[in-house]
Amino acid sequence: MNIVQTFISRFLILILNFGLVIYSTNMWGSDGKGIISIVIANITIISFITNIFSGSSVTYFASKQKTEQILLYGYIWSLIVGVLVPLALSLFQDSEYTFYLVGLSVLSAFLTTNINLFVGQRNIKMFNLYTILQQALHVIFLALLIYGFNYLSVTTYFIAQMWCLGVLFLVSSYQVLKKCQFSKIRFSGKIQKLIFSYGWKTQLSSFIQFLNYRLSFYFLEFYKGIASVGIFSIGVAFSEAIWTVSRSLSVVLYSDVVNSNNENEILIKAKTSLKISFLITLGFIIFVVLLPSQFYTFIFGKDFSQTKKIILLLSPGILSIAVSNIIGFYFAGINKLRILNVKSIIGLIFTLIASVFVIPKWGIVGACIVTSISYCLSSSVLFWKFYQITDFKVKDFFFSRLEIKIMTQKLYGKNNLK
């Protein structure tokens, strides 16, 4: 049931997110979309630092340490990093958006702490609800500012997002803190070290992998201008939309893994999630690629005529990441973090070297080729390790008749096989 609920919530998020993408491209064009993409990329970079104490470490230790202790370090760290890192970035980048970068970084980190606590407590329903509301309220506040107050600048996008995150943080904090006993709050060097040790390892891998996802943005901006970033970002947006299934399954799997000691049961769940992710992602890719080029131009505007070509070039990497996401969360859940760093570093080294030679010559097409190969390369490292420690076979990408029958019965609420 958690998987179904999470998938439905992610599907709603997908619709809302694409609504925002379509609106922003038509409202502010490729330049505006490029600005939004760069600012959001910067926020994501900052989040990897804040998430050392407010990310998956909150989920991992939710059932192992006192909630009061986890939240204490999550909030303090989020505030310090959310203010200082954007200010440091402003020394090297355009400082016009520093205020928004600070506000979004702090509020996003605060809310992430609360949401990850819900996952650690296996309260997937609350996780799904707040994930949907992040997109839904963003749309509502954006519409209110534009059509109610006639704010037409691209900064309206960030102001609306700040209001959205602020409201959700206040509401979620009430739910979380009303169950806490503030008298139990203590600074503990031991707990701090435990959280930091787990947090930095998971975030290092995620940050390096993110660079594989977004480094092309910065190379494109440097060599080809901000408009090329906006055009390329639409293809990346489709990639992340297609990963909706993979990420939904990964969240549920991770929650199950950190709360279970049954290794065989965990492995079976991982393989099942892997199969679902592979088959559904493949279906989405085929559907998106079959859409005519004119469809993308009609939806996003005349600046985005290359969208179909971009998605086609990215598709091998999209499929490989969709599957390796599952394996990555499996390794994170059993605290085998070294392999995650290794695979991310391999992909990053390739991206750095190849981008310098390919993107200046081939522009957006070059960025697609480099990104797709990097995805496949880093994913293959996880496949190899997963193959080593399990009896995984190629046939495990597909469902047997018995597995299909069992899943069908679960969906219809039947418990007995006939």
State how far the Cα of 90 lies from the Cα of 101, in Å rounded to an integer.
Answer: 10
The pLDDT tens digits for 223-250 are: 888 778 878 887 777 777 778 778 777 7
Q: Does the pLDDT value for residue 409 go beyond 60?
A: no
Residue 72 included in any domain: yes
| Whole-number percent of the chain with pLDDT over 70 | 89
Phi, psi of 261 (to 5 degrees): -115, 5
Q: Do 204 and 173 belong together in one domain?
A: no
Residue 192 included in any domain: no
State how far the Cα of 133 lies from the Cα of 155, in Å rounded to an integer.
Answer: 21
Q: Which of 187, 222, 256 is the last residue of a domain?
A: 187
Mean pLDDT of the chain: 81
DSSP letter assigned to residue 91? T
Q: Do 279 and 158 belong together in one domain?
A: no
Residue 240 included in any domain: yes
Q: Do 246 and 275 belong together in one domain?
A: yes
Q: Do 302 and 402 belong together in one domain?
A: yes
DSSP characters over 154-222: THHHHHHHHHHHHHHHHHHHHHHHTT--GGG----HHHHHHHHHHHHHHHHHHHHHHHHHHHHHHHHHH
DSSP characters over 89-111: HTTTS-GGGHHHHHHHHHHHHHH
Q: Which of 154, 187, 220 is the last residue of a domain?
A: 187
Q: Do 251 and 179 belong together in one domain?
A: no
Q: Do 182 and 270 belong together in one domain?
A: no
Residue 260 included in any domain: yes
Residue numbers of the domain that contains 182:
1-187
Instruction: Determine the pLDDT at residue 278.
Output: 84
Q: Do 343 and 372 belong together in one domain?
A: yes
Q: Do 149 and 225 belong together in one domain?
A: no
- Confidence grade of residue 411 (pLDDT, cut at 50, 70, 90): very low
- Confidence grade of residue 401 (pLDDT, cut at 50, 70, 90): low
pTM of the model: 0.68
The pLDDT tens digits for 69-102 are: 788 888 999 999 999 999 988 887 767 788 899 9
- Confidence grade of residue 2 (pLDDT, cut at 50, 70, 90): low
Instruction: Determine the pLDDT at residue 372.
Output: 92
Q: Do 117 and 242 belong together in one domain?
A: no
Residue 193 included in any domain: no
Q: Do 282 and 319 belong together in one domain?
A: yes
Residues contacting 123, CB < 8 A, separation 6+: none
The count of domains in the chain is 2
Q: Do 308 and 417 belong together in one domain?
A: yes
Q: Does the pLDDT value for residue 416 go beyond 60?
A: no
Residue 76 included in any domain: yes
Residue 194 included in any domain: no
How confident is the model over 327-348, as a mean pLDDT?
A: 83
Q: Which of 158, 187, 216 is the last residue of a domain?
A: 187
Q: Do 207 and 158 belong together in one domain?
A: no
Q: Say how far residue 16 (Cα) sits from the centre of its chain.
A: 15
Q: Does the pLDDT value for residue 183 go beyond 80?
A: no
